[in-house]
Amino acid sequence: MDKAVVTKISDCSQKALFYELSLSPKPGLVDRFNNGSHQDMNFFTFIDSIIALTPSFTAYLLAGYQHAGPLPALFLQLRRLGQVAEKEMLTATKGINTHKGANFSFALYLGAVGFYLQDHALPFTPQDTTAIFRLVQEMTADLVAQDFKDVAQKTNLSYGEKIYVQYQFTGVRGEAASGYPLLTKNLLPYLRQLRSLPQEERFLRGLVLAMSLLEDGNLLHRGGFDAWQEVQAEAKKVVGQDLGTAAFFAWLKAYDATLQARNLSPGGSADLLSLGILCLALEEAI
C-alpha cells in the first residue's frame, strides 16, 4: 500500500477521534467545556488516549491489506492487535477506559478498509462504505455467539458481558455482527444530508440522532434499562423537533446539566459518531 494512503487513513482516524472529543457541549460527555458525568477523566485524558492509539490504526489497516483467506481469521488478528492497543491506551491514561469501544470498532473498520483496498482506491463513495461494512459483518458473523457462549460461567465480566447477562443486549458486538446498521442506514445518511451545516452543529446533531437509536451500553451500565430508555425518548423528541441552531445549542447545554445530575453518559453513541466521522473523512465528505 502506498505510504501516502496509509498516512492519510491514519490521520483521518486520529482526526475523527479528536473531532468527536472537541464537539461541545456534549450531554454527559467530556468536551471542551467540562468533564460531563465523569470524575475520573478530562479533555487531556482523551488526548493522551488518542495519541496512544494512533500507531495501531496503521497496524489495523495493514493487517487487512495483507490478509488472504477467510475474513473471520482477519478478525482474530485484529482482536489481538486491538488488545495491544488497549494496553497502550490504559498505560497512557493510567488505567482509565477512554476509548475501549471506539478502539474495537476502529480496528474492525480499518481492517476491512485495508482488505477492501486490495481491489479499490480512495476516496470512497457511500456505496464503498456500505460494502466495507458488509466485510465487517462477514468478519464478525459468529462474534456474539462465540463471545457470550460461556458468559454465565464467568466470574469477572466486562461491562458488555454484564449488560448481555442482565438485558440480553449484545452491544457493540451485535452492531459489528450486523454490519453497523444504525451507522450505515441512519447516522451516515443523516450526516451526509447535513453537509451544509457548520461541522460542530452537524456532528452534534448526529450525536443526538445516535442517542435516539442506539442500545448504548454506557447508559445501561450507569443507569439501567429505564434510564437508557428515558434518554433515548428525550433524544428522539429533540430530533423530531428539528430545532434551529440557537435553540438546539441551548438544549444541548441544558441537557448536559440534566445528564450530569443523573450521572449518565452516552459513550456508546459518541463512539458510533467517531466511526461515522472517520467514514465521512474517507469519503472526503468533511
- DSSP designation for 257: H
Per-residue pLDDT tens for 22-66?
Answer: 999 999 999 999 999 999 999 999 999 999 999 999 999 999 999
Is 182 in contact with 175 (CB distance < 8 Å)? yes
Per-residue pLDDT tens for 215-228?
Answer: 999 999 899 999 99
10-residue averages of pLDDT along the chain (286 residues): 97 98 98 97 98 98 97 98 98 97 98 98 98 98 89 79 85 95 98 97 98 94 94 98 97 98 98 98 93
Q: What pLDDT is attached to residue 258?
A: 98
Q: What pLDDT is attached to residue 11?
A: 98
Cα 221 from chain centroid?
Answer: 17
The pTM (predicted TM-score) of the whole model is: 0.96
Residue 155 CB contacts under 8 Å (≥ 6 apart), including other chains: none
Element (H, E) at 98: none
User: In which residue are the cell numbers 459513550 written?
Assistant: 267
Q: What pLDDT is attached to residue 20?
A: 98
Cα–Cα distance for residue pair 32/244, rounded to 1 Å: 22
Cα–Cα distance for residue pair 215/207, rounded to 1 Å: 13
Q: What pLDDT is attached to residue 262?
A: 98
Cell of 153: 460461567
DSSP 24-54: SS-TTS--SS--TT-SS--HHHHHHHHHHHH
